[in-house]
Copies of this chain bind each other. A is one copy, B any other.
Amino acid sequence: MRPSGRKTDQMRKVSFERNFSKHAEGSCLVKFGDTHVLVTASLEEKTPPWLRNSGKGWVTAEYGMLPRSTHERMRREAASGKQGGRTQEIQRLIGRSLRAVVDLQALGERQISIDCDVIQADGGTRTASITGAWIALHDCLKWMETRNMIKVEKVLKDHIAAISCGIFASQPVIDLDYLEDSSAETDANFVITGSGGIVEIQGTAEGAPFSEDEFLTLLGLAKTGCAELVELQKQTIA
């Protein structure tokens, strides 16, 4: 039995609150149960140096956790003077995932900076970030379309969503919360497009190694879960 009483293939309640921020071109407060992430998408007219005069744009992401988003207060990264390895790993993942569904040529020589700030953490912050970032990115592109800068359908090629699956108490389950995550034997994150293409897989054995069959079960759960998330995205922007 899962601590939350959920079924093995049951995700937490997921919600998207659009336009959460007054200033950002696109923004979304995404909730996967008690995991709450504020995502903003900021349009910037500058691009990274290596893209100058290439005609191509860029989508990048930064990730942070508020110090008391967690059970125990964590040290503030701005105070300790650097972003930790986990933070960098996650923000690189978010950026890659979004770029997989963006036509950078069609975006033109501009950068969209995605900021994912975890307001409250209960497991799955990176998957909630990616899934919510798609909404913020979409709304930022809509904002640009209104100003005749781009066509959303040219730039945004597909949906993208992410979910974690893992083996908890010997059972493959979807969307691990903190209690499950901290004692799972295997933990895997999947990033999947609206058309079912796989963009990222990250699987880690926390305890004993896992088998190909176990992994395929997790992948199966993830495909169903991401399809649900994409459906929710569609309803949200409808």
Indicate if A67 sits at the interface (CB-CB under 8 A). yes
Question: A208 to chain B: closest CB distance in Å?
Answer: 7
Is A24 part of the binding interface, using a Cβ–Cβ cutoff of 8 Å?
Answer: yes
Q: Which residue of B lies closest to A200 (CB)?
A: B204
* CB under 8 Å from chain B, chain A span 187-214: 188, 192-193, 195-205, 208-212
Of B78, B117, B197, B202, which one neighbours A202 at CB under 8 angstroms?
B202
In the bound complex, residues from chain B placing their C-beta under 8 Å from that of A87 are 78
What's the nearest-Cβ distance from chain B to residue A91, in Å?
Answer: 8
A48 to chain B, nearest CB (A): 14
Which residues from B are CB-within-8-Å of A77?
A: 78
Q: Are A68 and B209 closer than 8 Å at their CB atoms?
A: no
Which residues of A in the span 4-54 have a Cβ within 8 Å of any Cβ on B?
21-24, 27, 34, 38, 40, 42, 44
Instruction: For A38, list chain B residues within 8 Å (CB).
Output: 66, 119
User: Which residues of chain B are near A96, meaning CB under 8 Å?
Assistant: 204
List 6 additional contacts besides A27-B68, A76-B78, A78-B78; criterion CB under 8 Å. Answer: A38-B119, A40-B73, A89-B92, A188-B201, A193-B209, A198-B205
A-B contact pairs, 9 of them (CB 8 A): A21-B119, A22-B122, A23-B68, A23-B69, A67-B115, A76-B115, A82-B82, A85-B89, A212-B223
